[in-house]
Amino acid sequence: MIPVEVGEPSYRRLTFHKEQNEGELRNELDSLDEVRNLAMIKEKVCKLHASWRYNSKMKPRSFHEGDLIWRATGEAKKDTSAGKFTVNWEGPFRVV
């Protein structure tokens, strides 16, 4: 099977200008730093927004010496033989 470009050139091949293409490529390379900087700024804004959303839902906690606290049991420390009735908290512990 013979490609179409062999018999009749396509519009893309007819309108292609090598010098103009090289100039456009140079222009794109020159603007590459600007595009990267804009992308970096957008990334920082998104990360700041995500951290703001996360931190807005967190309640500040402060512990003082002598307070009794409970500590969440990690998945590695849980006894799996009890199933869903496994203890989720350890303690109480006294803050030193």
What is the domain partition of the chain in residue ranges? 8-59, 61-96
Q: pTM of the entire structure?
A: 0.48
Question: To which H or E segment does residue 14 belong?
Answer: helix 11-14
What tens digit of pLDDT does each residue of 15-39 get? Answer: 889 999 999 999 999 999 999 999 9
Nearest to 70 by CA among 83, 86, 88: 88
Q: Please state, in angstroms and rounded to a whole number, the distance separating the CA atoms of residues 28 and 35.
A: 10
pLDDT of residue 1: 64
pLDDT (tens digit per residue) in 75-90:
777 777 878 888 888 8
pLDDT, the chain, mean: 88
